[in-house]
Structure 1
Amino acid sequence: MTSIVEYMTSQHRFCDNSFAAAEIAVSEKNWSEAEKQWGVFRRDLEIHLINEEETLFPAFEQISGNAAGPPAVMRMEHLQMRGMVESMTEALQAKAADGYLNLSETLMILMQQHNMKEEQMLYPMTQQMLPDTAAVISSMNDL
């Protein structure tokens, strides 16, 4: 059986891979490949964020009884990431490689720090606290 840590970390890696592929394509000014990979990244990221915001975080908050804990911080960071993704989408549409790559560096750092907090703290805590992690993972698969 897959754990929450494994399941959610694998989603991070899918996002990381398409993010890196889009960055390479932009640096090479291969705009069609950049748009393709960026579309994959945006879709995978949004699915991941929705999985967390609509399933994982509420389950954590219900069990912990704390709505102002780690998930609240993660939600704020999700808002920051979504804003940066929109700015990067605009840069990509304008074929502004320098603007895109500058934003890309910032978003990569934000995502790395965010993912580390989730993978090392939030996911393991959630795994330990939830009585039925298989049901939680199954409901995320339905998205």
Structure 2
Amino acid sequence: MHSFCHMGGHEEVELCSGLERLKQEHGPLREQMHDFFELAQTIGNNDEVQDWKERLLALRKNVLAFIYELDPHSEREEGVLFPMMARYIGRTSGPIAVMEYEHEQAKQRIASFLTKTAELPETADRESAMELADMVIQAYHILSEHFMKEENVLFPMAERMLSDKEKEELAEKISQI
């Protein structure tokens, strides 16, 4: 098994349609993540309270749009791909456990941000605004690395591991989500 840190040096694996779809979904998700990451980094850069409150609200809107796209993607992985792979490599430790843990860590940070920004208090200060933005920045970093691991390790591993019949089943099931 390849190390999760191994980023190259082996031949490119051609992915079946289901795995290729999951990989392709990362592109638009990355673009949305990049947008909210850049916005999050501007919060607190200006001492005008109104500015960072407006940015937090804009950030919240961006994050909600991102979650709308991320949730079905996560469901395709967690509800279809991971269980199929777990038949071979288990779920309590190893790659699937790591992937599920990272999903949970990113979701927790995003959920906390959304909960805490649902009603911004009038007394919120610059520091608390920066702490809120940092939750989203952390989620960005977790997911950026996570996507890389999936594309370079998990998806090629699944391609080698799953039978042709399982690959057909994967494509069919993820197309229904």
SS of the residue 2:163 aligns to: coil
- The structure, 1 or 2, with the larger RCO (C-alpha pairs under 8 Å, 6+ apart) is 2
- What is the distance in 2 between the residues matched to 1:106 and 1:113? 11
Q: CA RMSD, aligned part only?
A: 2.6
Percentage of matched positions with identical amino acids: 23
Q: Offset of 1:40 from its aligned partner?
A: 1.9
The size of the alignment, in residue pairs, is 142
Alignment of structure 1 residues 52-131 onto 2, 5 Å: 52-62=77-87, 64-67=88-91, 68-93=93-118, 94=120, 97-131=129-163
- What is the distance in 1 between the residues matched to 2:19 and 2:80? 14
| Aligned equivalent of 1:15, options 15, 29, 41 | 29
Q: Offset of 1:130 from its aligned partner?
A: 1.3
- What is the distance in 2 between the residues matched to 1:7 and 1:80? 24
Q: In the alignment, what sits opposite 2:17?
A: 3
Q: Offset of 1:86 from its aligned partner?
A: 0.9
Structure 1 stretches lacking a partner, 5+ long: none
- What is the distance in 1 between the residues matched to 2:26 and 2:129? 24
- What is the distance in 2 between the residues matched to 1:117 and 1:97? 31
Native 8 Å contact 2:106 2:138 kept in 1? no
* Structure whose residues are more often helix by fraction: 1
Q: In the alignment, what sits opposite 2:6?
A: none
- What is the distance in 1 between the residues matched to 2:57 and 2:134? 20
Q: TM-score, normalised by structure 2?
A: 0.67
Deviates more, 1:122-131 or 1:9-18: 9-18
SS of the residue 1:73 aligns to: helix
Native 8 Å contact 1:88 1:103 kept in 2? yes
